[in-house]
Amino acid sequence: MSFKTKYSNLIKSEAKRLGFLSCGISKAEFLEDEAPRLETWLNNRMHGEMRYMENHFDKRLDPTKLVEGSKSVISLLLNYYPSAEQNDKTAPKISKYAYGNDYHHVIKSKLKELTHFIQEEIGDVHGRAFVDSAPVLDKAWAAKSGLGWIGKHSNLLTQQVGSFYFIAELIVDLDLEYDTPVTDHCGTCTACIDACPTQAITEPYVVDGSKCISYFTIELKENIPTEFKGQFDDWMFGCDVCQDVCPWNKFSKPHNEPLFNPKPELLSMTKKDWEEITEDVFKKVFQKSAVKRTKFSGLKRNIEFLK
């Protein structure tokens, strides 16, 4: 067995021990297929007010420009599918990924442990951990590393577990054994395209971010355009519609990460509770949640827009 194989196997088994669903590895190199796609998407203004998407174009496509001397991109998936959902079916809805503690912190600490393990077991390895917080094309790397394929809704999909998981990376200066991409299994299915409440999936595999409910309820700081009134399907933070209708998500199994468990009151709040939410309740329910990103005023704006 070569050192590359040995080290790759070591890293994958430790990732499993840390609770990651799966781990795939690819060569740190320029993402040739993604370059024209990203350029077209930006030129068509599909990023809306997300100006940060225009920055670091080269770094987004080339990890060696982001992490000096990098040789491998280790991609990891962490399940967040909940065992229970909000009780009141008429209440404003929160995307499942935001039920528990902010995933950035939960995953960062796991990646820190994995990095420490690599340095202990393999030696002087340098790199950086990324959780949705830097110019890294997470889904492209996960697909390149064989962890799934990019579905028509532009999310990563896996036959065994669907798409309700977070993606993270370790970009390191270590030569490893590289995995190969898997094939696309969307076939002729158009469930996500047909179900999108705002027609944000403009064609298979292309999502106009500036029309997406997640964009309006999280990223957009100004008022939500009135022409979208009545089209939000009761989503007040994020949106899971394209994932909920995807046939592959019937294979989703509840996560076993205690930090992703929601506060009980989040699931039990009624429509009336949400409409009358105070800043104190907001702080208590979302104390360590990603929902804090939209702030109390943002969540109030979103709830008002649903009325």
Catalytic residue list contains 175? no
CB 14 within 8 A of CB 67: no
Q: Are residues 76 and 119 in the same domain?
A: yes
Lowest-pLDDT choice from 44-53, 102-111, 180-189, 276-285: 44-53
Q: Is the pLDDT of residue 43 over 80?
A: yes
Q: Are residues 27 and 164 in the same domain?
A: yes
Q: Are residues 167 and 28 in the same domain?
A: yes
Q: Are residues 269 and 234 in the same domain?
A: yes
Local confidence band at 201 (pLDDT 50, 70, 90 cut-offs): very high
How far apart CA 253 and CA 62 sit, in angstroms, is 34
Give the CA distances from residue 282 to residues 55, 65, 87, 191, 260, in Å, rounded to whole numbers and listed in that order.
33, 40, 18, 34, 18
- DSSP state letter for 39: H
**The pLDDT value given to residue 135:** 85
Local confidence band at 71 (pLDDT 50, 70, 90 cut-offs): very high
Q: Which of 172, 207, 234 is the last residue of a domain?
A: 172
Domain limits for position 226: 191-251+262-306
Helix H or strand E segment including 129: strand 127-130
How many domains are there within the chain? Answer: 2
Q: Are residues 137 and 48 in the same domain?
A: yes
**Chain segment 84-108, per-residue pLDDT in tens:** 999 999 999 999 999 999 999 999 9
Q: Are residues 106 and 221 in the same domain?
A: no
Q: Which residue of the set 33, 88, 124, 132 is catalytic?
A: 132
